């Protein structure tokens, strides 16, 4: 039995292992808090000093992390933040939770992963576990992480341990959180898998081991490609029903009564967030390097990317029916985050909708209970106070994000014209 592995496993079992989390965003902060709650001494590392200062002050900047829980972990001395990677000298495990965006040409941008790994490589030592959580293409862990970690001669599975465990954070969700969502883990070697299973078994109710890091990477991409393709399908069904004069929501609800063989997805203004629009493109890119055309992924992206234009055209049609032109009309957009009840604007289709409306001459304002300005998104669109007078003065109200705090009956009473991309204002159908 490998003595280095046994010592690390013992440290994990006894909660003596010191844990590091690189990246304190939507994925990293909840993970760091969960490690601290499990009894591990945890350090969160981020180059954004504002996040580090907030963490050390016990202030949560992520909606899914309760300030009281964060503050308790900090006060107890189990959690702290820093921008100094030198702390890795004393750490036994490192979880990398950094962004993996796409470039303008839809190629993977792994610069954050590479940079984080370079820092880890400076301080890697025997008995260290390195886990990549950032979503990426199959092969990343072995092609990028392993060579840097072993550059000084360390042996994977004997001296150091490397694994991939994809994040499954769904911002704003309350029923499934990190603790009760099964955690996939894939090690570069069987020994790596054993160690990563031991670590994550302390912070999640169920660990799901797979045969390799690449299998874990692929599983994550399958999850989000499945969603992207099915969202594209129902979006296209909505457009087909539109052409046929049918109510797409009635059709979907009817199909959803089948107790087997059908999973309900709903149409909308497009897809947003860091996962659904981006993750399938990582798989598509990887397959292009192998001379394979991922047709479903490309078609799904085409359909989903067309939805903002579809809903802008619906605004044009509604205004035309009211004998008004889009140019010069007052359009109020309700909800701009990519999903309800959170403050996340990443890849939100509302941003494309607003840009298209403004390009066509509409006078656009927005309201969102979670967002006060779009300036950081490059937009100068004003934020409007939501009042009966403002609704009445709008030539068209476009519902993009169905936040629970909106009183839809009140909106319907005061807005003269509504285009509803989320089907929240539809009258009840007769049976």
Per residue of the chain (431 residues), give pLDDT as tens.
589 999 999 999 999 999 999 999 999 999 999 999 999 999 999 999 999 999 999 999 998 899 999 999 999 999 999 999 999 999 999 999 999 998 877 788 999 999 999 999 999 999 999 999 999 999 999 999 999 999 988 899 999 999 999 999 988 888 999 999 999 999 999 999 999 999 999 999 999 999 999 999 999 999 999 999 999 999 999 999 999 999 999 999 999 999 999 999 999 999 998 888 899 999 999 999 999 999 999 999 999 999 999 999 999 999 999 999 999 999 999 999 999 999 999 999 999 999 999 999 999 999 999 999 999 899 999 999 999 999 999 999 999 999 999 999 999 999 999 999 999 987 655 54
**pLDDT computed for residue 427 by the predictor:** 62
Point out the residues that are catalytic. 275
**pLDDT computed for residue 103 by the predictor:** 81
Is pTM, for the whole model, over 0.85? yes
**pLDDT computed for residue 428 by the predictor:** 53
**pLDDT computed for residue 171 by the predictor:** 87
* CATH 3.40.50.720 domain span(s) along the chain: 3-211, 239-420
Q: Which fold does the domain 239-420 belong to in CATH? A: Rossmann fold (3.40.50)
**pLDDT computed for residue 1 by the predictor:** 58
**pLDDT computed for residue 28 by the predictor:** 97
CATH code given to domain 3-211: 3.40.50.720
Of 166, 175, 161, nearest to 208 by C-alpha is 166
Contact indicator for 314, 308 with CB cutoff of 8 Å: no
């Amino acid at each position: 039995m490998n003595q280095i592995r046994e010592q690390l496993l013992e440290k994990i079992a006894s909660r003596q292992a010191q844990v590091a989390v690189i990246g304190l965003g939507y994925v990293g902060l909840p993970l760091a808090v969960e490690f601290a709650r499990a009894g591990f001494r945890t350090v969160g590392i981020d180059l954004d000093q504002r996040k580090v200062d907030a963490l050390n002050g016990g202030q949560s900047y992520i909606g899914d992390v309760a300030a009281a829980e964060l503050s308790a972990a900090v006060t107890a001395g189990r959690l702290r933040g820093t921008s100094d990677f030198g702390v890795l000298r004393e750490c036994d495990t490192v979880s990398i939770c950094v962004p993996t965006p796409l470039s303008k040409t839809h190629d993977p941008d792994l610069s954050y992963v590479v940079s984080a790994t370079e820092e880890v490589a400076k301080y890697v030592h025997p008995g260290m576990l390195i886990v990549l959580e950032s979503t990426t293409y199959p092969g990343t862990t072995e092609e990028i992480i392993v060579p840097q970690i072993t550059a000084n001669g360390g042996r994977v599975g004997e001296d150091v341990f490397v694994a991939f465990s994809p994040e499954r954070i769904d911002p704003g969700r309350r029923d499934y959180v990190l603790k009760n969502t099964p955690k996939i883990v894939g090690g570069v070697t069987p020994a790596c898998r054993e160690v990563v299973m031991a670590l994550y078994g302390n912070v999640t109710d169920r660990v799901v081991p797979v045969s390799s890091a690449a299998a874990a990477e692929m599983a994550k991409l399958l999850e989000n490609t499945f969603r992207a393709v099915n969202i594209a399908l129902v979006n296209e069904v909505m457009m087909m029903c539109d052409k046929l004069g049918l109510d797409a929501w009635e059709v979907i609800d009817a199909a959803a009564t089948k107790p087997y063989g059908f999973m309900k997805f709903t149409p909308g203004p497009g897809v947003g967030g860091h996962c659904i629009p981006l993750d399938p493109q990582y798989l598509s890119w990887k397959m292009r390097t192998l001379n394979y055309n991922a047709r479903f992924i490309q078609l799904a992206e085409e359909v989903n990317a067309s939805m903002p234009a579809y809903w802008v055209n619906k605004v044009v049609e509604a205004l035309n029916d009211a004998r008004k032109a889009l140019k010069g009309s007052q359009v109020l957009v309700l909800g701009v985050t990519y999903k309800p009840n959170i403050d996340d604007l990443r890849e939100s289709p509302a941003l494309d909708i607003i840009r298209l409306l403004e390009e066509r001459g509409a006078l656009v304002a927005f309201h969102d209970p979670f967002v006060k300005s779009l300036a950081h998104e490059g937009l100068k669109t004003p934020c409007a106070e939501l009042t009966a007078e403002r609704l009445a003065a709008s030539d068209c109200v476009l519902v993009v994000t169905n936040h629970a705090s909106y009183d839809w009956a009140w909106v319907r009473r005061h807005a003269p014209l509504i285009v509803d991309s989320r089907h929240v204002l539809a009258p009840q159908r007769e049976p």
